[in-house]
Amino acid sequence: GVTASSFDGLIASAAARYGLDPSLIKGVIQTESGFDANAVSHAGAKGLMQLMDDTARGLGVTDAFDPAQNIDAGSRFLSYLLRKYDGNVSTALAAYNAGPGRVDRLGLTDDQQLRERLSELPAETQRYIGKVLAAAQQWR
């Protein structure tokens, strides 16, 4: 059957390509889809890294359920967010979950500001950040 390790090669190459820690990608996948490549959320996010259709299209994805495309695009988006927020991992994760627009409207640029104003983000996003960081820690 398909296990988390089935995706190790794709995760390792995306991590290398976009300068990410593979354990962070795994933490996102575990939290987003539990390593189910066919997952669809109530909001319509698809695949391993739960890409919304607009995001997926913008990243050139033709099939969000294809693990190779999904991991590549999700990792590219995550690396873009990490650059945008100067390597502040929690802030990048908040933007991955709630959308960069939401984070920017609150004027959050780093993890310290995020911690101080966490209550202004959706409860789901608050939980999400902790879940991903804990999952990433386990994969290290």
**Which residues are part of the catalytic machinery?**
32
User: Of 39, 28, 15, 48, whose CA–CA distance to 131 is shortest?
Assistant: 28
**Alpha-carbon span 22 to 18, nearest angstrom:** 10
Q: How many CB atoms lie within 10 A of CB 8?
A: 12
CA distances from 31 to 38, 86, 96, 127 (A): 14, 23, 12, 10
Q: According to DSSP H, which parts of 8-110 are helical?
A: 8-18, 22-33, 53-58, 67-84, 89-98, 100-105
**Alpha-carbon span 138 to 140, nearest angstrom:** 6
**Two tokens at 21?**
């820690």
